[in-house]
Amino acid sequence: MEVVILAAGQGKRMRSVLPKALQPLAGRPLLAHVLASARALGAQRICVVHGHGGGTVHSRLDAPDLVWVEQSLQLGTGHAVLQAVPHLSADTPVLVLYGDVPLIGVPTLMRLMDAAGQDRLSLLTVELDDPAGYGRILRDDSGRVTRIVEERDATPDDRRVREINTGILVAPAARLRDWLGRIGNDNAQGEYYLTDIIGLAVGEGLEVVTVSPDCASETLGVNSKAQLAALERMFQASVASQLMDAGVTLIDPARIDVRGELLCGSDVEIDVNCVFEGRVELGDNVAIGANCVLRDVKVGSGTRVAPFSHLDGAETGKECALGPFVRIRPGTVLADGVHIGNFVEIKNSRIADDSKAGHLSYIGDADVGVGVNIGAGTITCNYDGANKYRTEIGDGAFIGSDSQLVAPVRVGRGATLGAGTTLTRDAPPDQLTVSRTRQQSYADWVRPVKKAK
């Protein structure tokens, strides 16, 4: 089986410089969703027919298993498939998909392929309460498909038909090649319709069979930002349903966004308005508070992430407490039982078991030992304007509030830094290190007052 994906549309109604095929749905381009379905079917070859913005589409989504074919003139769907024909084998069925129909399901496509076999033409059709704008499936008295008529070419009787053509079909490659060479453009649009091959197939006595999708939303296309937003919510509703079926507690299934892959253990709870991007793994008994963003992270079992926290490219151990309002940046690894409190930012650092940074601190390029307490307002000064350096904090160290650790510097095991210390040299283990100016009081000092106007 080989696949042709039509993705040459300009998408004028999107009103965007970004090609329609690259418009994002759940964090991935529309075309990427269709490519994923084609790959899941085990296609021998995938031909992508591109047009407007094709160079950008090609560069963003190119892969070794793809053949890119340009449709320089937009002359209809039949003309688009014809551009791919020279790249197809003559003895395999061909599945035609659309780059702006992203929700098409693999089970539906497998049933469509099974119905076609090696020598039949199978169509994916669906009945709609309001079929306006779609091509209608016309049948004879025996219920056999005779042809498809487009909306603009349909008679009033034709328009009363509720069964519509989705455009998705499977056909024998050799016959498809022949039919495409014979269709014309004598229609209201002046285009070469792929649907005209149905009449040719019927005329040759080839069996035309139809299959319905598991869900009508699988066949919906995207032509505007409003339609894109509607499909986004459909996609997220489907993801939410799958998560809840797997035992995840969603406080409000209508307020979650998964823009990648979300893997959850048992008894996971997710509050409202959370966004998951890339690959996110949540261990058993993890709780994610409201309005959090997690991107490419692994969260250990029993960890609690309080509201308004951002985790990106990081990993946490078990039973950690994070947030609210924490920012964990790429390269960070938190061990078991770590507590990171409100308004703390951590970047490219390793923090060992049971260490704490409770308030208003920045920890960058640091290695923090076991059982360390980092006071409020502490920062690691890791950047000298040209290069970055690491800070090491030994096990059991206590860092007083409002301290600055000027890297490269090391705080010894069990050391204590007094509040307000600016550390520029290593602090020895098990000692108090303080760096302060002498405190003075002036008895004769008078506070300034405003001058009378």
- pLDDT tens digits, residue range 392-436? 999 999 999 999 999 999 999 999 999 999 999 999 999 999 998
Rounded Cα distance between 14 and 225, Å, is: 6
Rounded Cα distance between 337 and 345, Å, is: 17
Given this model, what pLDDT does residue 272 score? 98
Given this model, what pLDDT does residue 42 score? 92
In 404-437, which positions are buried (b, 16+ CB within 10 angstroms) versus exposed (e)? bbbbebbbbbbbbbbebbebeeebeeeeebeeee
Can you list the residues of the chain whose pLDDT is less than 70? 53
Given this model, what pLDDT does residue 104 score? 96
Q: How many residues does the chain have?
A: 453
Q: CA angle 212-221-165, nearest 5°? A: 40
Given this model, what pLDDT does residue 209 score? 94
Q: Delineate the domains of the chain, giving CATH numbers in brackets.
A: 2-219 (3.90.550.10), 225-433 (2.160.10.10)
pTM of the model: 0.89
In 321-355, which positions are buried (b, 16+ CB within 10 angstroms) versus exposed (e)? bbbbbbbbbebbbbbbbbbbbbbbbbbbbbbbbbb
Residue 256 CB-half CA count within 13 A:
26
Given this model, what pLDDT does residue 380 score? 98
Given this model, what pLDDT does residue 304 score? 98
Given this model, what pLDDT does residue 8 score? 86
Tell me which residues are annotated as active site: 359
Given this model, what pLDDT does residue 13 score? 84
Given this model, what pLDDT does residue 17 score? 86
Given this model, what pLDDT does residue 87 score? 92
Given this model, what pLDDT does residue 452 score? 86
